[in-house]
Amino acid sequence: MVAAAILACTLALAPGSDAATSPPNIALDAIAFRVRATDPRAQEWIRAGAAASPTFRALLSRLGESDLIVHVEIVDRIAGGAVGQMYFLSATGGVRYVRIEVVAGPHAARMVALVGHELQHAVEVADAPRVRDSKTLEMFYRGMFENAPGSARYDSVAARVTEDRVKSELAGFRGPAARPGVPALTAVQEWK
């Protein structure tokens, strides 16, 4: 039921016609089907990551080949003060659904890196077919990754490395002009 509601409410990312925003060597239709966002800001972060970061493109490519559908959503806040999280929604037949939530910040490049961090978690789940619900997701992370003592929040070294790598790849990138109402992805000054 939740998956059907998400499918009914999501807008797939349409590949742009601008060659500067089109990632090389990726089947955009598969990516658009697998990684979705309804908010124009999140759509822009995904496009910018695909255009500017080989690491981000590799995450999208891996997810495009998986059974996972990822919905990226912007939220006002996340319990416990986190700025991003991924959680399991449902599994039906041969498809699994996860949601990434991020708290929007003022710098587009930082948001692209944060989405990359969370997409790395989605790839971890994509590579673990036994994860089919919230309980198996928790067992997977409890057994494989780090968590703060006394916390139910889990993180992986790979996600932190991915975020740093995406930041580095974006540092000198100057992307196309922003769409109306969506902040532009600019260069290094955002990291200061």
The whole-number pLDDT of residue 14 equals 33
Q: State how far the Cα of 108 lies from the Cα of 174, in Å rounded to an integer.
A: 12
pLDDT in tens, 5-34: 332 233 233 333 333 344 444 445 445 679
The crossing angle, in degrees rounded to 10, of helices 108-126 and 157-170 is 140
97 has which bridge partners? 69, 90
Specify burial of residue 33 (Cβ count, 10 A radius: 0-12, 13-18, 19+).
middle
pLDDT in tens, 62-111: 999 999 999 999 999 999 889 999 999 999 989 999 999 999 999 999 99
For residues 97, 185, 38, 87, the Cα torsion angle rounded to the nearest 10 degrees is 30
Question: What mean pLDDT, rounded, does the chain reach?
Answer: 77
CA 82 to chain centre: 15
